[in-house]
Structures are given as C-alpha cells and as structure tokens.
Amino acid sequence: MNRLACIAVASVLLAAVAPATAASKFDGTWKFDIASQQVSTKPSVYLLTGGSYTCSTCVPAYTVVADGGFHPVAGNPYYDEVAVMVVDPRTIGWKSRKGGKPMVEFTRVVAANDASQTTTFTDMTAANGVAVTGKSTDKRAAAGPVGSHAASGSWLDTTAAEAEVNDAAVLVTLHLDGEAMTFKTPTGVSYTTTIDGPQSPVVGDAGWTTVALKRTAPDTLVETDYRDGKATGVFTYAMAADGRTIRADQQDLLHGTTSAVTLIKQ
C-alpha cells in the first residue's frame, strides 16, 4: 500500500540523530506527528474495469484479475501475490501475501459525492508479528474512464490530520553512543550505523536493506536508504534549537514524491 507500507513512516523517524557531544539529549523515544505531515502532490493512479485492477503508480506497476482470488505479482519486496475483490460499486477489498503469509489488507470506500475515498488497513509485514493499523483519506484528482469502478482514477493524499494509525507505526527508540546510532521500532526494524560511515545493514524490513547517515551541519543529518545497493530514499533531518522537535524532509526516489513531517520527543 505504498505510503502505508511503513518504509516512509519508519524512515522518517530516523531523524533523531545528533553529534556525539549531545548524545543524551537525543536518546529516548520519538513520535511521528501525523498532523504535521506535508503530503506529496503526486497522485496515485488506479483502474478497475473489465474485471481487472491496475495500479499504475505502484513500484513496480501491476495488473491482476479482480475476482477475489490471489494472483502473482513480481518485483515487490513485501508481497508476491495480490487479491482484489469488488464489494460494491463504491467499495473494494485488497489483500497481499508473501510466501503464503498474509501481509497487508485494506478496504477502500469511495464517498457518495465521488470526491474522496477512505482506506482502512492492517499491515502485517513486520517480522515480529506487530501489526500496523489505521485509516487514511484521499481526495480525487481525476476521474477514471467512463464505466470503470468508482475507485478508479487519480487520488491525492489529504492532510495527514485526517489519518489514523496505531503507535506501532509512529514510535522509535534511539541511542547514540559516540558516533554509533542504534535504531529500533515496535515492529522489529533495527540497525546500528556510524554517522559519516559506510552503509550498514537494516534488520526486519524486506524492502530496506542498508542505511547510511551523513552529518551536513551540527544539527542536520542526511539519511540515504538502500534496497540491495540501490538508493530508495533521501531524508534530511533538522533539529529544532530546543531539542524537542525535528523537521524531516523526505525524497522518495522510487515513487518520485516529496513530503515532510515533524518528530516530537516523548
């Protein structure tokens, strides 16, 4: 579910990094402030017509038969099968699995005025079994072809203040020991890396294999995420003077989008 697949959520939370001289200031738990998020202006595009469902902005794009059964989808690290079910003229169900294990499920309902749609989801991709749950709303940017399902067309994220997610998606624990940063999330994603050092392995995320952090100013770091050696995202983190919040700007290299969010120290 692209942005709901938690790479963006988890990666944004890596911002709480600081010079070793102020390690204790940045150790602890930080929370992703959903209401502060500045979302991408690039739409997601779906087409459900003639018994087939296409996600043209997914990476990679795919088309499956929308008969409620699972069908193979290649190239995505989080799933290898997708099932799409037409519930009614305004509602669809979507499920994915990998190696037979359920991964993500959501129900998408288009409003009666066709101007928005609401997605309620459960993300079970975490290796430790902790699920991410929530709800998000998109607004229509363009209609689908005549005769297609209401969920077809181009859709834009709304302000994230309208979204809901559980704490598993928005909390991170950090510890800085000298130049070594350790990162852990409730969903079991973790790493230890050296600031201004080489790429380090990431544990617990099939689509995020290594990470590198560079300090560009005393209170600013640039993080690059990699999947099998290919850069997938660049994140710039600027800490506020009071040390209580961090501005995180994200460049999603896979989807060609940008966004921003604030982190709050707990």
Render pLDDT for 104-138 as a digit per residue (tens, 0 to 9).
999 999 999 999 999 999 999 998 999 999 999 99
Q: What is the pTM of this model?
A: 0.85
Q: Please write the tens of the pLDDT for every residue from 60-74.
A: 999 999 999 999 999
Q: Please write the tens of the pLDDT for every residue from 173-210.
A: 888 788 888 889 999 999 999 999 999 999 999 999 99
Cα atoms in the 13 Å half-sphere on the side-chain side of 259: 28
In the chain, pLDDT over 90 holds for what percent of residues? 68
Work out the pLDDT band at 162, boundaries 50, 70, 90: low
Tokens at residue 73, please?
């989808």
Q: Please write the tens of the pLDDT for every residue from 243-261.
A: 899 888 999 999 999 999 9
> Which part of the chain is CATH 2.40.128.20?
2-39+167-265
pLDDT score, position 17:
39
CA 44 to chain CA centroid, nearest Å? 14
Residue 24 has pLDDT above 50, yes or no: no
Average pLDDT, the chain: 88
Tell me the C-alpha to C-alpha distance, in Å, between residue 38 and each of 30, 101, 210, 232, 252: 18, 33, 26, 20, 14
d(Cα 149, Cα 91) in Å, to the nearest integer? 9
d(Cα 181, Cα 205) in Å, to the nearest integer? 18
State the average pLDDT over residues 154-161: 79
Work out the pLDDT band at 6, boundaries 50, 70, 90: very low
CATH superfamily of 2-39+167-265: Calycin beta-barrel core domain (2.40.128.20)
Radius of gyration of the chain (CA): 19
